[in-house]
Amino acid sequence: MTVEDAYARYHAAWEAQDPDRIADLHSTDSIFWLQDGRSPFVQGREPIRRHCAGLFQLYGEIGFEPCRVLYGEDRWVFDYTMVLKLTDTSGKPFVARIDMIDVVDVNPAGEVTRKDVFVDRAATQEALARAGLG
């Protein structure tokens, strides 16, 4: 499996918001780490599945606007904007746009062995505070 194929399967699972499929694409000892300065890493398929299910439950519909994908021998870097449809504390809907970069390592079988997610912390904190989530 090529890195490009692994990325396509993984991205499709995120687009479908399918935590079971996402977890199945990780190796058994995989690490998922949101590099936001406060979140610990999550390790293992089942904890990653629960983490992703929690994200989808908390944020509802999550969209991804790709900027670019860079491929290496055993990794990809995904530069994108995450789009969240949220409601502010007064009940008014709004759209939050948060720039993000994923650095994803894969093994020869195409399984994700590590995913580091780097976020625009200021935009994240502003959106979560506005939605009463932060």
34-56: pLDDT as tens digits = 998 888 899 999 999 999 999 99
Terminal-residue alpha carbon distance, the chain: 40
Report the C-alpha gap between 51 and 71 in whole angstroms: 26
Q: pTM for this one?
A: 0.92
Give the H/E segment covering residue 91: none
Residue 128 has pLDDT above 80, yes or no: yes
Going by the DSSP 8-state scheme, the letter that residue 39 receives in this structure is: P
Report phi then psi at 105, rounded to 5: -95, 140
All structural domains of the chain: 3-130 (3.10.450.50)
